[in-house]
Amino acid sequence: MRATLLTVALVTSVNSSAGAACLDDVRTLYTQMQGFRSSESFNFYGFGQGGPHRTWFERLNQVYATECRREVFERCRGIDLYSLHMIAMYGRRDARRDPIIEQSNRDDEENLIACLARHNKSGR
């Protein structure tokens, strides 16, 4: 049920087309991350050079280097776009478990989902 909610709920009212495009990029990255973060290949390769998920990581870095980082921070109540990287990495089996980091990642993910849902309702 939670996985369904995560994929269905996908970032806030955006007046500019650039802001809307940014949030669409974030939605795409989030949806893609959901597809691989618990996969065997991600457990094995992570975001390593030559691995199948490296292009996702490079795309995240490209989006992060733009004004999109600020858009997400402002519209999603302080979420750092790079949280997607942390959420994905913490899903790996070999990730060290720390209750504070785990809760922080859960909170970030829930806030991002809510933000994407607001954008979805108001912008599309």
The whole-number average pLDDT for the span 90-95 is 70
Mean pLDDT for the stretch of residues 80-86: 87
Token pair for 97: 């478990």
> Which structure tokens are listed for 8?
């269905």
The number of angstroms, rounded, from the C-alpha of 98 to the middle of its chain's C-alpha atoms is 20
In this predicted structure, the answer to whether residue 12 has a pLDDT above a threshold of 80 is no
d(CA 103, CA 98): 9
Which pLDDT belongs to residue 17?
72
C-alpha atoms less than 13 angstroms from C-alpha of 104 in its C-beta half-sphere = 12
pTM of the model: 0.77
Give yes or no for a contact between 45 and 53, defined as CB atoms under 8 angstroms apart.
yes
Q: Helix (H, G, I), strand (E, B), or coil: what is residue 100?
A: helix
Higher per-residue pLDDT: 5 or 105: 105
pLDDT at 14 over 80: no
Closest alpha carbon to 29 in 118, 106, 119, 116: 116
Listed in sequence order, the residues at least 6 apart from 55 whose beta carbon sits closer than 8 Å to its beta carbon are: none
Angle between helices 99-123 and 68-75 (to 10 degrees): 90
- Reported as a single tens digit per residue, the pLDDT across 32-57 is 999 998 899 998 999 999 999 999 99
Report residue 60: phi and psi, to 5°.
-55, -45
Looking at residue 53, its pLDDT comes to 96
Which pLDDT score, from 0 to 100, does residue 96 have? Answer: 67
